């Protein structure tokens, strides 16, 4: 039940979204891995924010700066007090990634539509190919919250050496080093396979149901605390390949279970697996 989550207000249903399609205080944002999906049909009134083209710097591997972020919000009709609801493909991988990026810049009211794009289409809810245009806002970024929810390689190394909780949310074969990339993503492999020493394998997909919705709080607590052994007081770092799958796990631990200190290592294996002299462990 949604009511049993630590912050149930952050997860909204498809019904809620459909009821707020014409609410000027709400902006629906689609963020997909497949950037062509939006043009094929999206939730009416939804804007597209491209995780790669919009949110990432096109020269260095980093996020855009506060000025560019504010410009994206302004053009999308997002004000500082707008409720922004994210949804997308891949069980909301990229929706969670965009949510996380918005939190880096301090946007207060961010939410995820449970079930994402798949559930909306499976339930035959209304779609549109019309690209909406909203009056630009005077958005002001609230500053950087990077230290709270993002972590870099040097601190990850110290975290690993200290034996603190590290969650590797990639597939089991990526974790063991049997594969250098995700299934069907051979062009995105690293030079070395394996995992960060001390990390536990907790594939992201264990947190979601077949229809793309998140599992119940009871199931999530059983997974992360009963099976993995986490405690709410833990300082947790999650990683995957580039930070997209781990942003979903970050969302689950932070908002659905209420863990106060969870950070996403978006450098992830594409950085660590190519990093000279970085320690690597193999096998299960």
CATH H-level superfamily of 2-146? Rhodanese-like domain (3.40.250.10)
Residues 80-120 have pLDDT tens digits of 999 999 999 999 999 999 999 999 999 999 999 999 999 99
The better pLDDT of the pair 2, 274 is held by: 274
Residues 184-207 have pLDDT tens digits of 656 566 889 999 999 999 999 999
Q: Give 94's contacts (C-beta < 8 A, 6+ positions apart).
A: 31, 32, 33, 51, 88, 244
The better pLDDT of the pair 224, 180 is held by: 224
Would you call 240 a catalytic residue per the annotation?
Answer: yes
User: Domain coordinates of the chain in residue numbers?
Assistant: 2-146, 150-272
Looking at domain 150-272, its CATH architecture is 3-Layer(aba) Sandwich (3.40)
Of the residues 73, 96, 110, 240, only one is catalytic, namely 240
Residues 36-83 have pLDDT tens digits of 999 999 999 999 999 888 998 989 999 999 999 999 999 999 999 999
Residue in 187, 162, 172, 18 with CA at minimum distance from that of residue 87: 18
Q: Give 242's contacts (C-beta < 8 A, 6+ positions apart).
A: 266, 268, 270
Which ranges constitute the DSSP H helices of 194-234? Answer: 217-221
- pTM of the complete model beyond 0.85: yes
């Amino acid at each position: 039940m949604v009511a049993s989550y630590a912050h149930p207000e952050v997860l909204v249903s498809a019904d809620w979204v459909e009821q707020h399609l014409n609410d000027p205080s709400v902006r629906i944002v689609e963020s997909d891995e497949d950037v062509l999906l939006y043009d094929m049909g999206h939730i009416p009134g939804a804007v597209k924010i491209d995780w790669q083209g919009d949110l990432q710097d096109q020269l260095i591997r980093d996020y855009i700066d506060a000025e560019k972020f504010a410009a994206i919000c302004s053009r999308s009709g997002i004000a500082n007090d707008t409720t922004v609801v994210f949804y997308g493909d891949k069980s909301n991988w990229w929706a969670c990634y965009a949510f996380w990026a918005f939190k880096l810049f301090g946007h207060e009211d961010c939410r995820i539509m449970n079930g994402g794009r798949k559930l909306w289409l499976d339930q035959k809810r209304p779609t549109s190919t019309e690209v909406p245009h909203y009056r630009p806002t005077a958005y002001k970024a609230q500053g950087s919250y990077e230290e709270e929810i993002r972590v870099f390689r040097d601190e990850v190394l110290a975290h690993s050496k200290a034996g603190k909780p590290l969650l590797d949310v990639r597939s089991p074969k990526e974790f063991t080093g049997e594969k250098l990339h995700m299934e069907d993503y051979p062009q995105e492999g690293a030079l070395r396979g394996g995992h960060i020493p001390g990390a536990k394998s907790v594939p992201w997909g264990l947190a979601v149901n077949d229809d793309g919705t998140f599992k119940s709080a009871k199931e999530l607590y059983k997974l992360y605390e009963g099976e993995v052994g986490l405690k709410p007081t833990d300082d947790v770092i999650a990683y995957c390949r580039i930070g997209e799958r781990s942003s979903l796990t970050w969302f689950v631990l932070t908002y659905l279970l209420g863990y106060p200190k969870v950070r996403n290592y978006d450098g992830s294996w594409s950085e660590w697996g190519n990093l000279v002299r970085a320690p690597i462990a193999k096998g299960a």
